[in-house]
Amino acid sequence: MRIKNVGNYQLIQWINQNKTIIIDFRDYDDFYKEHIIHSIHFSKIIPQEENQEKIKNLRNKTITIITKNGTETLKPAKIMRKLVREDIYVLIHGINGWKKDLLPLIKKQL
């Protein structure tokens, strides 16, 4: 069980092959406004009751964590690793790096 980095284009392959579950730890408003397809929003402070059911469904799955810029992922990654007992991947440069590479996002109008 380790915390590893993943790049944008590897994540795209995993999404297309349905090989990862993407967990977005950004603020809810930021997530709602735009997020990577198939992402699940988690509160930054976990575990909370609302996250417990989600966590049960993540065991034995490859998890990729998304944050704003990829630098604030260590704490959520360590917590998730303890809860799901699997390798955890962190998107290098977070959602900002994804947007910089002009990759697709699901966007909502507020």
Instruction: With respect to residue 109, please indicate whether it lies within any of the assigned structural domains.
Output: no
CATH number of the domain that residue 79 is part of: 3.40.250.10
Residue 106 lies in a domain: no
Contact 96, 72 (CB under 8 A): no
Q: Total domain count for the chain?
A: 1
Is 86 a member of any domain? yes
Q: Is 110 inside any structural domain?
A: no
Q: What is the mean pLDDT of residues 21-43?
A: 93
Under a CB-based contact definition with an 8 Å cutoff, are residues 60 and 77 in contact? no
Return the percentage of the chain with pLDDT > 70, whole number.
Answer: 85
C-beta separation of 97 from 8 below 8 A: yes
Instruction: Establish if 105 belongs to a structural domain.
Output: no
Q: For residue 108, tell me if it sits in a domain.
A: no
Domain around 78: 3-100
Using CA atoms, how far apart are residues 1 and 40, in angstroms rounded to an integer?
22
Task: Give me 24's structure tokens.
Answer: 């977005």
Q: Which amino acid is at 40?
A: I
For residue 6, the one-letter residue type is: V
43-88 pLDDT, tens per residue?
Answer: 766 555 666 667 777 777 789 999 999 888 777 887 777 777 778 8
Q: pTM for the whole thing?
A: 0.85
